[in-house]
Structure 1
Amino acid sequence: MTTQALKQGAARVSRRDAMVAAFLALFLGSVLTFGTGMAAPDAVHNAAHDWRHSMGFPCH
């Protein structure tokens, strides 16, 4: 692949779209971090345990 082909295929993202994506990623990360941090340890363990089973990973 040539440099010309790479330049033509590159998507252009506006600054506003990049800021919106960054804010949403920060918000989601904060919700996950603080939500897990504030949850009871048993609730977090059970959620992870159920996820492992739903993905087909053996855990015991």
Structure 2
Amino acid sequence: MNTASVSLGTSASSQSRLLQLAFAGLLGIFVIGFTGFSHIEAVHNAAHDARHSMAFPCH
């Protein structure tokens, strides 16, 4: 009985970690996509400066 609870806990933890990773990836894609291709000059310039500060190629 104790083994089953450990097994379920590991499975739930693995699913939770995968879900968190998926949401983090989607958030990153949204942020890069929205700010990188934004027609709002202030948003685009802020993203441009942030990319330079992280040594992320943008040109």
Q: TM-score, normalised by structure 1?
A: 0.48
User: Which structure's CA Rg is the greater one?
Assistant: 1
Q: TM-score, normalised by structure 2?
A: 0.49
Which of the pair is proportionally richer in helix?
2
